[in-house]
């Protein structure tokens, strides 16, 4: 039996099982979607406000941008958090003790996160179809853009999530990356077009992948008339692919090294020490 094939198969089966566990548990599903509901609520109130200089509503602008937030949240924050938590609780060490266990672990996580993004996308697009006018949800060509955006966006974000998840030592420190990600979302044009921002801020936003994820999602769902609100009045697909691809390549170079260093440190006694710390925290 092919060893690598088996590792991939076990990873997929692992991801499938974990996805089923999340989806069949109301509490888990809720905690994964609650932030999304918080972001979707304003859509309802903004459905009649028009975006200056265009004929689309603010709600129509924000909704596709939220699709990119789904990739950012799950790919970066959710993956990082899972790595930190599962390092503390010993999941990672267990997999490390199995032949090719770490590879399968990561494949499983990628599948789980991709599944969670899809679930979140269904929630966002469903809300859009029900509440927001002016979205082009019925055209097949538009869905094609979403189809390349999902894997490319995950490729750009997941390695970053893996790096942060390896570097953060305790689940309590996960907030350290939460705030910067929210700050980045604010300047990345998720809630408001950035064309009116100072140039230096626009440059900063365009260095990071979140802006481009949002731009691509808007290009998929908004009419051409919405271009008036974008930098250079263009969807800039090639630039999008270049920047996201660049992050993906950088991440894929860095993540395996960082992950390997992190995994190498794991042993029964480091686990036990972490468990004792966590238990004494709880007792204190």
Partner 1 sequence: MTSTLTAPDPVRTAPAEPPPVVRVSGLRMSYGTQQVLRGIDFTITQGQIVALLGPNGAGKSTTIEILEGFRLRSAGEVSVLGVDPARGDEAWRARLGIVLQSWRDHGKWRVRELLSHFGSFYRPYATDGVTRPWDVDELLAAVGLTEQADKPIAALSGGQRRRLDIAVGIVGRPEVLFLDEPTVGFDPQARQEFHELLRTLADARMTILLTTHDLHEAEKLADQVLILAGGRIAARGTVAELAREFGGEAEVTWTSGGRAHSARTADVSAFVRQLIQDGAEVDDLRVHRAGLEEIYLSMVAGEEAKR
The radius of gyration of the chain from alpha carbons, rounded to an integer in Å, stands at 20
Our finding on whether 192 is near partner 1 (CB under 8 A) is no
Residues 185, 62: contact at Cβ < 8 Å? no
Minimum distance, C-beta of residue 145 to partner 1, in the bound complex (Å): 36
Our finding on whether 261 is near partner 1 (CB under 8 A) is no
Our finding on whether 31 is near partner 1 (CB under 8 A) is no
Orientation angle between helical segments 58-72 and 101-131, nearest 10 degrees: 170
DSSP string of 73-104? IIIIIIHHHHHHHHHHTTHHHHHHTSTTHHHH
Our finding on whether 240 is near partner 1 (CB under 8 A) is no
Minimum distance, C-beta of residue 26 to partner 1, in the bound complex (Å): 13
Residues 60, 125: contact at Cβ < 8 Å? no
Our finding on whether 223 is near partner 1 (CB under 8 A) is no
Q: Which of 146, 149, 81, 148 is nearest to 113 (CA)?
A: 81
Our finding on whether 256 is near partner 1 (CB under 8 A) is no
Among 12, 35, 100, 191, binds partner 1 (CB under 8 A): 100
Our finding on whether 81 is near partner 1 (CB under 8 A) is no
DSSP assignment letter at 192? S
In the complex with partner 1, the residue whose CB is nearer, 89 or 239, is 89
Our finding on whether 237 is near partner 1 (CB under 8 A) is no
In the complex with partner 1, the residue whose CB is nearer, 230 or 266, is 266
CA-CA distance, 239 to 252, in Å (whole number)? Answer: 20
Our finding on whether 171 is near partner 1 (CB under 8 A) is no
- Cα 38–42–45 angle (5° rounding)? 150
Among 139, 176, 272, 281, binds partner 1 (CB under 8 A): 272
By the criterion CB under 8 A, which residues form the site for partner 1? 1-3, 6-7, 9-10, 13-14, 17-18, 21, 25, 86, 89-91, 93-94, 96-101, 104, 266-269, 271-272, 275
């Amino acid at each position: 039996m092919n060893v690598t094939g088996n590792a991939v198969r076990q990873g997929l089966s692992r991801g499938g099982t974990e996805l089923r566990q999340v989806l069949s548990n109301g509490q888990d599903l809720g905690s994964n979607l609650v932030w999304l509901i918080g972001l979707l609520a304003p859509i309802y109130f903004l459905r009649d406000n028009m975006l200056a200089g265009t004929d689309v509503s603010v709600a129509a602008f924000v909704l596709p941008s939220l699709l990119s937030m789904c990739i950012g949240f799950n790919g970066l924050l959710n993956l990082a958090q899972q790595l930190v938590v599962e390092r503390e609780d010993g999941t990672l060490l267990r997999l490390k003790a199995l032949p090719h266990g770490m590879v399968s672990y990561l494949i499983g996580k990628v599948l789980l996160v991709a599944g969670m993004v899809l679930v979140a996308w269904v929630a966002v697009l469903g809300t859009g179809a029900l509440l927001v006018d002016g979205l082009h949800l019925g055209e097949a060509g538009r869905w094609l853009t979403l189809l390349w955006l999902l894997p490319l966006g995950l490729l750009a974000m997941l390695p970053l999530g893996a790096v942060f998840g390896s570097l953060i030592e305790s689940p309590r420190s996960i907030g350290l990356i939460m705030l910067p990600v929210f700050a980045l979302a604010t300047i990345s044009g998720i809630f408001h077009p950035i064309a009116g921002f100072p140039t230096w801020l626009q440059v900063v936003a365009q260095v990071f992948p979140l802006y481009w994820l949002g731009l691509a999602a808007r290009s998929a769902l908004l009419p051409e008339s919405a271009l008036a609100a974008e930098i250079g009045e263009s969807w800039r697909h090639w630039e999008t692919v270049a920047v996201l691809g660049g992050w993906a390549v950088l991440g894929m170079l860095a993540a395996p090294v960082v992950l390997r260093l992190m995994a190498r440190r794991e042993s029964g006694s480091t686990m036990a020490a972490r468990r004792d710390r966590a238990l004494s925290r709880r007792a204190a």
